[in-house]
Amino acid sequence: MRLLLARCSVTYEGRLGARLAPAVRLVVCKADGSIAIHSDSKAYKPLNWMNPPCTIEVTDAEIVARTPKGETLRIELHEIVHDATFELGDDAGLEKDGVEAELQQLIAARVAALRADFTLVRREFPTDIGPIDLLCRDGDGRAVVVEVKRVGDIAGVDQLLRYQARLDRDPQYAPTVGMFVAQVIKPQAKVYAESKGIAWVEINLERLRGDLDPDLKLF
């Protein structure tokens, strides 16, 4: 991983155009080919970024990332404040807490409880950005990406959308549909999910533990 603190300006050309005026920012270049540009205020999310697959060209004056779809992210380096590279090695990945892991396991044992026509393809389906909790097929053969949380919030919906975007690149699964599952889903997350065409389900863990006949509320 390369951490570059620099006074830079940024331009993005793609579906929309965007520009960041010169300022001191943190540029994170990861081994997986992703680039993220952060400021020290305003938001925890990057100001702009590029995800793999992309081609990256690095010179003393700029960093340019291009995707196969024709998107271009150009970082012009006006002054380097600090430049450091670290070898992080392999990461075992995020381990779910006990409740989330149990929810995932119990639901995988009976995905038809989420919807009668669901069949399980695989639990912990691997992608380059992490495993999908449950990958299912519905009665029409569509791939259904299921994200399971103990408490569902907007960040969880965003995570589900990222997984869908990954699978939608593969004709074997595209176009996917999404389902967000949790014991409790925050009202803002419900509205956000619906705006993105994602179904959401609240489940009763005690019923699920007791007899695999969950009390599900699907909206």
Name the residue ranges covered by the structural domains of the chain.
2-85, 98-218
pLDDT (0 to 100) of residue 44: 75
Instruction: Yes or no: say if 118 and 146 are a contact pair by the CB < 8 Å rule.
Output: no
pLDDT (0 to 100) of residue 212: 45
Which mean pLDDT values do the consecutive 10-residue runs of the chain (219 residues) have? Answer: 95 88 95 90 82 90 92 96 86 58 87 90 91 95 94 93 94 95 93 95 79 45
Domain 2-85 has CATH 2.70.180.20: yes
CATH number of the structural domain 98-218:
3.40.1350.10
**Triad 189, 157, 20: Cα angle to 5°:** 100
pLDDT (0 to 100) of residue 218: 40
pLDDT (0 to 100) of residue 68: 87
pLDDT (0 to 100) of residue 94: 52
Instruction: Yes or no: say if 186 and 153 are a contact pair by the CB < 8 Å rule.
Output: yes
CA separation (Å) from 7 to 75, 135, 202? 10, 43, 46
